Structure 1
Amino acid sequence: MDINYLLIHHDELLTYLREHDYAETYVNRYKTTIKQITDNASNHNWTTYEDVYQWYVDQSYSPTYLHEVRAIIGKLEQFHLHGNFPDNKKSYSSFWKIKSAYTKLSSEYKQLYEDFETQTCKGLKSSTVASYRTKISSFLYELQCKGATSLSDVTEKDVLTCFFADGVRKRSGSLCANIIRFFKILSESGNEEATRILAYIPNLRIARKNIDYLTDGEAAKIRQVLEDSNYSLSCKDRAVGRLLLHTGLRGIDIACMQLEFIDWNNDRIRIVQQKTSQPLEIPLLPVVGNAIYDYCINERPMSASPYLFLDSRAPHNNLTTDGIGYSVKKIMSAANIRQEKGRRKGTHIFRHHLAIKLLSNGVPQPVITRTMGHTAPESLSSYLHADMKHLRECALSVEDFPMAKEVFQSCLK
């Protein structure tokens, strides 16, 4: 690792940071890290930036400091090796990337997975495909580590021990479903060994958590803080809050929303959903449009970026889902709701709340499905469980089932 490049060119990096309005404290962190690296390089046989970071780890620095310095080292590596300047995004260094088990698979297993991906993953988001690859490869690699380098070597015991250890389940129901799908596709293609192994895989139930749904009282408090200018919320927070509360859009779709997606003349919002890649058109309500307008006029940084919501820090990249989540936390803090440890504060509870309100107001389910942007009608089923108004209507009166007084008394003990 030629440290001379960093010695000669580090001033260019620091100048770039200052010219792009990075905070001086942030620039000083770079300067300090560069000085530590250049001062100590002659005493260590560093060959990669991974070695540099390991040196920091060995100094017993605090986890918080290591987290900060790791980000800077990753960006120094990008600058040193590729000439890339920081862009305020998460620029992970190559030594942070977790290598997929796929790279360690036998040639047969790799080919089987490639066949599966070719048949089933067309049109899916790259992140979804990567998830399939990770989950299925990890299962195949575990079989391989047990000595089964080919499907013909796999025994029932090999399969079951991939799912259970000492009677305790090792893999989730959703991961099991992915593995079952993989072997079903192979089986339908005529692979007899896949058919045999499919019979060994346990059909684990997918756990469904009870949704900590947003109550009407909480929603009312959120509306209050969004309407009242006395609360210390930014225009961006209010616009994000209005979109979540009144449209039910996913956090990722709000983060990726572009200026051109808003049709001011026809009062419509038109997006392509990040999760499904399907187009969605919804009304632009006045209360939502006004909040977005206030943000654009009063607070949005001057930028040629096509994205609606921008980071207030230079170089003003589009807001991430973490940024959307941060606005939600500020809104809930201002409303003094869900401040207990462990309470759900994510963006999805707004989406869930809107679906429940539509259901309770008698809106037909196909209309709700289209409004929420679901591609499958069954996606609405999880919301039905919290529709307390209609669930109460389905309840049977105990008057039709007379019981002795002693039965009720025993239940109260």
Structure 2
Amino acid sequence: MHTNILLKELIESVLREISKLGLCSELNCQYRRIYNRFKKFAEKRNMDCFSSALIESFLSDIEQKYMAGQFGRPRRNHLRRAALLLQDYVRDEAIEWKIYVVNPKQMPTSQEFLLLYSRFIDNLEFYGRSENTIQSSKNLVRQFLLFLEDSGCTALLMTHPDMVPSFFQHLLATYSPTSIRTVASHIRSFLSFAEGGERLLPLVPSYCTRNKPIIPILTDKEDDALKRVLKTQKVLLRDKAIILLALRTGLRAVDIVKLKLEDIDWVNDTISIIQSKTGNPFKIPLAADIGNVLSSYILNDRPKTENPYVFLRSLAPFRPLSGHSTCYTVVRKTFHQAGIRLGNERKGIHVIRHSAASRMLSKGVPVTTISSMLGHSNKTSTDIYLTTDTESMRSCAIDLSEIPMNCKGLI
């Protein structure tokens, strides 16, 4: 886990990678000096291990000093690159010399808040929370702590209980009422973790409006058109495998792109994964059509590399696909090849995933089984798919033809 990576060792590893890039010796020395500065920054905060929260805090400090005119843009860019190279190396075990887009995020200035924030994020990473969960927590907890600072608080023990409902009231200016439910969940998790936060827990909204959207699914004609194009040579083998996995199993995009070669048991025809959102182990049967396309892709089209992930970029560097955005592009391209959803209709893996759930339901698969396949930690989350089973809903409808009615009452 990230919390076990010593900064000293990580920095030396990154400096060795930088030396392999063929840069001038002066630049190599400059980055060693920057990393010495970074180590001092961490020492002041009693931190000797890598954490993404430490990187964010360092980037925020750089931005504040740059805006105050303490150094110019070139130095700011080198400082930012040095910090982000550490993050890249932890994630990829490799670095790429590139321009990093500046997207500064204001961080709390209170040392107590910064340390608490960092420990909370480290805790999420330690327990293997999904990347989406961690990013959401970073954003929402950061906003919460900044709000407290703006209200004159620099420690949770100093926080007046009224500040918690005031924070949620403040969010209503930019967040929809249904989104407050998500915010409350993350803030509740943070306060449960933080020392001095338990007394504030009862002030977090316990009842929030829940959004129950209409689930978008493929029509029968769209489904047929998609299946037809998947049987042609128009679609890349990699893209066929991704679409079929989503269409037949309902797997999330993040679980598809994280699929590894070792997860596929060709002898027993199964795929075993750890679901990213729930952390639950899950085994699914490897259907013949999916297995045939997967094997063709791995043997014939997949780049020859030691990378353990199944789905890789087609062009060098041959890295794993990057989640939702790449899968969305794959689905949109395949839909276009099938001649469906060419306008502003919903696209992406979500549509295929919803369609898979709907078709399982129409074939009589129990809701509890569908819930497990979709990776829902709350079994009631799958109930919304009941609304897509038109025939079953029609059979439940009340026949009004035998009931006398006053038409005027309906106008």
TM-score by length of 1: 0.68
Counterpart in 1 of 2:15? none
The structure having more radius of gyration, on CA atoms, is: 1
Counterpart in 1 of 2:223? 219
Contact 1:359 1:365 in 2 (8 A): yes
Counterpart in 1 of 2:327? 324
CA distance in 1, matches of 2:292, 2:171: 59
1:48 aligns to 2:74 (yes or no): yes
Which of 145, 150, 171 is equivalent to 1:145?
150
Counterpart residue type for residue 337 of structure 1: I
Counterpart in 2 of 1:339? 342
Counterpart in 2 of 1:263? 265
Task: Give runs of aligned pairs for residues 176-195 of structure 1, distance below 5 A.
Answer: 176-178=183-185, 181-182=188-189, 185=192, 193-194=199-200
Distance 1:137 1:46, change over 3 A: closer
Distance 1:87 1:330, change over 3 A: farther
Counterpart in 2 of 1:28? none
Instruction: Give the deviation of 1:221 after TM superposition.
Output: 0.9
Secondary structure at the aligned position of 2:222 is classed as helix
Contact 2:277 2:375 in 1 (8 A): no
Instruction: Give the deviation of 1:130 after TM superposition.
Output: 4.4
CA distance in 2, matches of 1:182, 1:264: 41
Which of 136, 139, 145 is equivalent to 2:141?
136
Contact 1:177 1:203 in 2 (8 A): no
Any stretches of 5+ residues in structure 1 without a counterpart? 11-44, 54-72
Task: Give runs of aligned pairs for residues 172-251 of structure 1, distance below 5 A.
Answer: 172-178=179-185, 181-182=188-189, 185=192, 193-194=199-200, 198-199=202-203, 201=205, 203-229=207-233, 232-251=234-253
Contact 2:254 2:276 in 1 (8 A): yes
Deviations 1:147-186 (A, max 9, x none): 2335566557644543346984646323432256248737
CA distance in 1, matches of 2:130, 2:214: 28
Q: CA RMSD in A?
A: 4.2
Distance 1:385 1:105, change over 3 A: farther
Distance 1:391 1:99, change over 3 A: same
Deviations 1:204-245 (A, max 9, x none): 42334333222222111100110133xx22122222221121
Instruction: Give the deviation of 1:284 after TM superposition.
Output: 0.9
Instruction: Give the deviation of 1:388 after TM superposition.
Output: 2.1
Distance 1:156 1:202, change over 3 A: farther
Instruction: Give the deviation of 1:354 after TM superposition.
Output: 1.2
Instruction: Give the deviation of 1:135 after TM superposition.
Output: 0.9
CA distance in 2, matches of 1:281, 1:369: 14
Percent of aligned positions that are identical: 28
Contact 1:183 1:194 in 2 (8 A): no
CA distance in 2, matches of 1:390, 1:90: 57
Instruction: Give the deviation of 1:111 after TM superposition.
Output: 4.4
Distance 1:329 1:167, change over 3 A: closer
Contact 2:252 2:374 in 1 (8 A): no
Counterpart in 1 of 2:102? 96
Contact 1:276 1:375 in 2 (8 A): yes
Instruction: Give the deviation of 1:127 after TM superposition.
Output: 4.8
Contact 2:329 2:348 in 1 (8 A): no
Aligned residues: 340
CA distance in 2, matches of 1:74, 1:190: 36
Task: Give runs of aligned pairs for residues 14-29 of structure 1, distance below 5 A.
Answer: none
Instruction: Give the deviation of 1:140 after TM superposition.
Output: 2.6
Which shows bigger deviation, 366-375 or 298-307? 366-375
Instruction: Give the deviation of 1:274 after TM superposition.
Output: 2.1
Any stretches of 5+ residues in structure 2 without a counterpart? 1-21, 28-70
Secondary structure at the aligned position of 2:295 is classed as helix
CA distance in 1, matches of 2:321, 2:113: 42
Distance 1:377 1:138, change over 3 A: same
Distance 1:121 1:142, change over 3 A: farther
Counterpart residue type for residue 163 of structure 1: F
TM-score by length of 2: 0.68
Counterpart residue type for residue 295 of structure 2: Y
Distance 1:92 1:237, change over 3 A: same
Deviations 1:183-211 (A, max 9, x none): 87379x9867415xx44758442334333
Contact 1:173 1:207 in 2 (8 A): no
Contact 1:273 1:279 in 2 (8 A): yes
CA distance in 2, matches of 1:200, 1:237: 44
Counterpart residue type for residue 228 of structure 1: T
CA distance in 2, matches of 1:403, 1:392: 21
